[in-house]
Structure 1
Amino acid sequence: MSNRLFQGLVHQMRDSIDATIGVVDETATIIACSDLSRVGTTNEFVSLDLSDSHDIFIRDGFTYKPFGSRVKPDYAVFVEGVDDAAAKYASILAIALSNIKQYYDEKYDRNNFIKNVILDNVLPGDIVIKARELHFNAEISRAVFLIRIISANDISAYDVIQNLFPDKNKDFVFNITETDIVLVKELKSTVDSKDLEKLARSIAATLSSEFYTRVKVGIGTAVVVDKDLEKIACFFYDTVSSEFYTRVNVGIGTAVVGVKDLARSFKEAQMALEVGKVFDTDKVIVSYDNLGIARLIYHLPTTLCETFLHEVFKVGSIESLDHETLFTIQKFFENNLNVSETSRKLFVHRNTLVYRLEKIKKLTGLDLREFDHAIIFKIALMVKKYLSANPVKF
Structure 2
Amino acid sequence: MISAQTIRTSIEELSAITKVELCVMDLGGETVASTSERDFLDVSIVINFANSPVDSQVIGDVHLFKILDEGDPAYVLLAKGDSEHAYMVGKIGVSQLQNLVVAYKERFDRNNFFQNLLLDNMLLIDVYNRARKLKIEVSVPRVIILVETKNVQDNTAQELLSSMYGQHSGDYVTAVDENSVILIKNLGRGQNYEDVHKIATTIVDMMNTEAMLNVRVSYGTIVEEIKDLSKSFKEAKMALEVGRIFYAEKRVNAYNTLGIGRLIYQLPESLCKIFIDEIFGDKEVPDDLDEETLNTINKFFENNLNVSETSRQLFVHRNTLVYRIEKLEKSSGLDVRNFDDALTFKIALMVISYMKYLEGRQ
CA contact (8 A) 1:117 1:260 kept: yes
The separation in 2 between residues aligned to 1:185 and 1:209, in whole angstroms, is 22
- 1:345 equivalent in structure 2: 313
Identity of aligned residues (%): 39
Which position in structure 2 is the counterpart of 1:189? 189
> Amino acid of the residue matched to residue 41 of structure 1?
L
Query: Counterparts in 2 of 1:285-364, with a 5 A limit?
Result: 285-315=252-282, 317-319=284-286, 321-364=289-332
Letter paired with 1:253: G
Equivalent residue letter for 1:128:
Y
Structure number with bigger Rg: 2
Query: Aligned equivalents of 1:195 and 1:26: distance in 2?
Result: 39
Residue 188 of structure 1 deviates from its aligned partner by 0.7
TM-score normalised by L of structure 2: 0.70
Q: CA deviation at 1:255?
A: 1.2
| Counterpart residue number, 2:240 | 273
Instruction: Measure, in 1, the Cα distance between the counterparts of 2:209 and 2:319.
Output: 49
Match for residue 336 of structure 2? 368
Deviation track 1:298-335 (CA, whole Å, cap 9, x = no partner) reads 11111111111111113351247433322222121111
Q: In the TM superposition, what is the alpha-carbon distance from 1:351 to its structure 2 partner? A: 2.4
Say if 1:26 and 1:202 are closer, same or farther in 2 by CA, change over 3 A. Answer: farther
Partner of 1:118: 118
Alignment map for 1:214-229 (pairs within 5 Å): 214-216=213-215
Which of 2, 6, 9 is residue 28 of structure 1 equivalent to? 9
Q: Which structure has the highest helix share of the two?
A: 2
Partner of 2:173: 173
Tell me how far 1:78 sits from its aligned partner.
7.0
Cα pair distance change 1:325/1:201, threshold 3 Å: closer
Superposed counterparts of 1:58-207, under 5 Å: 62=23, 64=25, 76=32, 81=40, 85=44, 97=74, 109-150=109-150, 156-168=156-168, 170-207=170-207
How many residue pairs were aligned? 306
Between stretches 332-341 and 191-200, larger displacement belongs to 191-200
Q: Name structure 1 gaps, 5 residues minimum.
A: 4-22, 31-37, 45-59, 67-74, 217-248
CA contact (8 A) 2:283 2:333 kept: no
Distance 2:352 2:42 in 1: 67
Instruction: Provide the aligned C-alpha RMSD in A.
Output: 4.1
SS of 2:136's partner is: coil
CA 336–288 in structure 1, closer or farther in 2 if over 3 Å, else same: same
Q: Is the 8 A contact 1:297 1:383 kept in 2?
A: yes
Work out the CA distance in 1 between the residues paired with 2:49 and 2:331: 75
Unmatched segments (≥5 aa) in structure 2? 52-66, 76-100
Query: Is this contact kept in 2: 1:65–1:77, CA < 8 A?
Result: no
Amino acid at match of 2:267: L
With over 3 angstroms needed to count, the CA separation of the structure-2 counterparts of 1:24 and 1:252, relative to structure 1, is closer
For 2:274 and 2:222, how far apart are their aligned partners in 1?
A: 35
Query: How far has the Cα of 1:295 moved from its partner?
Result: 0.5
**TM-score, length-scaled by structure 1:** 0.65
Q: Secondary structure at the match of 1:201?
A: helix
Partner Cα separation in structure 2 for residue 392 and residue 64 of structure 1: 51
Q: How far apart, in 1, do the equivalents of 2:162 and 2:7 lie?
A: 14
> Which secondary structure state, in structure 1, belongs to the residue aligned with residue 227 of structure 2?
coil
Corresponding residue of 1:41: 14
